[in-house]
Chain A
């Protein structure tokens, strides 16, 4: 039931491992006092908020578990996570709120 081959998986693990280590070692490797230019830093600050919402949106709106049909329980759970996470600035609180709404709604809506 795995959606990808073992070769693909190991290729991803090894390349991603080397690549991540390379990124982490990059500036430490050359005794560097050199700073990244401002405009690069300005873009890098937004990597996480630029990727994660885009990654999540299709999963929220067309979930695999329902065969791609939009599911009110999952959409409400996603909204709860964002609202609570944003207002409390707390990752665990947001995640917890999402799970609570998800299970309540899955039960209520059957």
Chain B
């Protein structure tokens, strides 16, 4: 029987490799949002209230593109729809925790915390509910705090960066860097190609709906290719 504190620290330790990913991307969010004209309070509100990297970048990018508010929100929420899947996958393990703990864990349910916890719960089937909560908290706390602290540091550096750094292009490169390693199967490649081509074709669709259309089409293509090939 491992103590709760030990499992908390185990979770924190397991999340350590993600420091390498979270630190530069949080700093980049700070930089990009300062570049977009947000002040420190606004940038920090983004990272504290939303706490979802890809969705934050997406919303900011659409705002800069002058997309309608509703479209910016909707598109970023579609980016985040995978969180519902995480919630469903963790519910059998964490569903018996007190409501306030579940509400709090939902706030800190980021990609890294999900990936680590889901794997651990399948491996250590004898953990009690409190041990599971302790481990989850450990996997989430460092990643989330670093996200906030490094957003702040990036925002501080923000406006002082010289033009030749072409920080405008850091965001597209960051997105591509996130996508490329995710192209694990033919279905992922098909979805990504559909999205890229459809977004260009739909660029004339009004109200910024083109990207959402392209995304739904690409998800359908990915799902269909997966179904036909019969594997993930």
Contact surface of A with B, Cβ cutoff 8 Å: 1-4, 6, 8-17, 19-21, 23-36, 39, 41-61, 63-65, 74, 77-78, 81-86, 88-92, 94-95, 98-99, 102-103, 106
Q: Mark B44-88, 1 if CB is under 8 A from A, else 0.
A: 011001111011101101011110010011011111111111111
| Residues from chain A with Cβ under 8 Å of B166 in the complex | 65, 102-103, 106
> What's the Cα separation between A82 and B148 when bound, in Å?
28
**Chain B nearest CB: distance from A106 CB in Å?**
6
Q: Are B24 and A43 in contact (CB under 8 A)?
A: no
Chain A: interface secondary structure?
A: helix
Contact surface of B with A, Cβ cutoff 8 Å: 20-21, 24, 36-38, 42, 45-46, 49-52, 54-56, 58-59, 61, 63-66, 69, 72-73, 75-88, 90-92, 94-96, 102-103, 105-107, 109, 164, 166, 168-183, 187-188, 191-196, 198-200, 203, 211, 214-220, 222-223, 226-227, 232
| Residues from chain B with Cβ under 8 Å of A85 in the complex | 176-177, 179-181
> What's the Cα separation between A60 and B75 when bound, in Å?
19
| Residues from chain A with Cβ under 8 Å of B75 in the complex | 51
Q: How many A-B residue pairs have CB under 8 A?
A: 290
Q: Are A57 and B196 in contact (CB under 8 A)?
A: yes
> What's the Cα separation between A74 and B173 when bound, in Å?
9
Q: Are A3 and B90 in contact (CB under 8 A)?
A: no
Q: Are A13 and B42 in contact (CB under 8 A)?
A: yes
| Residues from chain B with Cβ under 8 Å of A42 in the complex | 223, 226-227
| Residues from chain B with Cβ under 8 Å of A95 in the complex | 24, 173-174, 177
Q: Are A20 and B77 in contact (CB under 8 A)?
A: yes
| Residues from chain A with Cβ under 8 Å of B187 in the complex | 46
